[in-house]
Amino acid sequence: MPSYIFGKIELDDTQLQKDLEIVKGFPRISEEYDEFGTGVWINNSLWNASQDATDTMYRDFDYPAKQTEYGRQLPYISKLVTENFNLEYLKMVRTRNLIDGMVIPHKDFVELNKPKNQYFRVFVPLEDNQHAFHSDEDNVFQMKKGEIWFLDAAIDHAAVNFSTESRIFLCLDFAFPGDFHPSEIFTNKALYNEQIKPTIAKREQLKPEAVEHMIQSLSQIIDKYNFKDVLFMLSKIHFYKDVPVSAAYDWLEEITRRSGKEELLDKTQKLRKYMIEKRDLGERFSINDWKELTA
CB 29 within 8 A of CB 41: no
Q: Whats the size of the chain, residue-wise?
A: 295
Q: Which is nearer to a copy of itself, 37 or 71 (CB)?
A: 37
Which letter does DSSP use for residue 88 in this model? G
Q: Which of 17, 82, 117, 164 binds a copy of itself (CB under 8 A)?
A: 164
Q: Which of 9, 11, 22, 40 binds a copy of itself (CB under 8 A)?
A: 40
Binding mask 212-251 for a copy of itself (x = CB under 8 A): -xx--xx-xx---xx--xx-xx--xx-xx-----------
Q: Is 38 in the site for a copy of itself (CB under 8 A)?
A: yes
Give me the residues paired with residue 48 across strands: 66
By CB under 8 A, which span of 3-11, 37-45, 62-70, 265-273 interacts with a copy of itself? 37-45
By CB under 8 A, which span of 6-14, 36-44, 79-87, 270-278 interacts with a copy of itself? 36-44
Name every residue whose Cβ is closer than 8 Å to that of residue 209 and which is 6 or more positions away in sequence.
Answer: none
Q: Is 76 in the site for a copy of itself (CB under 8 A)?
A: no
CB 7 within 8 A of CB 196: yes
Backbone angles phi, psi at 251, to 5 degrees: -60, -45
Name every residue whose Cβ is closer than 8 Å to that of residue 233 and which is 6 or more positions away in sequence.
Answer: none
Assign residue 39 a region (left: φ > 0; alpha: ψ between -120 and 50; beta: otherwise). left
Number of neighbouring beta carbons within 10 Å of residue 204: 8
Q: Which of 35, 69, 83, 194 binds a copy of itself (CB under 8 A)?
A: 35
Q: Is 295 in the site for a copy of itself (CB under 8 A)?
A: yes
Residue 149's identity, in one-letter code, is: W
Site residues for a copy of itself per CB under 8 A: 27-30, 33, 35, 38, 40, 42, 54, 99-100, 130-131, 133, 140-142, 162-164, 199-203, 213-214, 217-218, 220-221, 225-226, 229-230, 232-233, 236-237, 239-240, 286, 288-290, 292-295
